[in-house]
């Protein structure tokens, strides 16, 4: 193999490995930040519940903040089968690719689909 190509492949393989490692580091940081975010959300919800407990339904106003209450209406489904059809959303069908692949591999004919083979490159390091 040409020495120039060998050098390029080795350099790019090392860069590839470094980029994958950086991706893993970022993924780890994302998980840590998500955990911190969830902890902060839990703490904020606890503080909100404390305020709700202290005020016991009363409003509060100071130079710094104001606490009041509102209401909203939402629909709760008791029995989906009893709902008239005109109020139901019909979703588009979604193919089960795993089941289709398994059926084709068992020898079944499934119209409208085919199995496509793709190739990929694997880079490993010593």
Query: How would you write the pLDDT of the chain (126 residues) with one tens digit per residue?
Result: 799 999 999 999 999 999 999 999 999 999 999 999 999 999 999 999 999 999 999 999 999 999 999 999 999 999 999 999 999 999 999 999 999 999 999 999 999 999 999 988 887 777
Residue 72 phi/psi, 5-degree rounding, is: -145, 160
Helix (H, G, I), strand (E, B) or coil at 10: helix
Which tokens sit at 97? Answer: 């690719």
Pick from 47, 7, 112, 35: which is nearest to 104 by CA? 112
Which tokens sit at 36? Answer: 């911190």
Which tokens sit at 10? Answer: 């080795």
């Amino acid at each position: 193999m040409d020495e120039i190509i060998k050098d390029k492949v080795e350099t790019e393989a090392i860069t590839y490995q470094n980029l994958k490692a950086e991706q893993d580091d970022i993924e780890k940081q994302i998980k840590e930040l998500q955990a911190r975010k969830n902890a902060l959300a839990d703490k904020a919800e606890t503080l909100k519940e404390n305020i709700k407990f202290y005020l016991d339904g009363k409003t509060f106003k100071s130079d710094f903040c104001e606490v009041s209450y509102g209401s909203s209406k939402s629909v709760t489904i008791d029995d989906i089968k009893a709902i008239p059809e005109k109020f139901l959303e019909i979703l588009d069908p979604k193919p089960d690719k795993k089941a289709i692949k398994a059926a084709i591999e068992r020898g079944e004919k499934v119209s409208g689909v085919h199995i496509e083979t793709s190739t990929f490159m694997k880079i490993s390091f010593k």
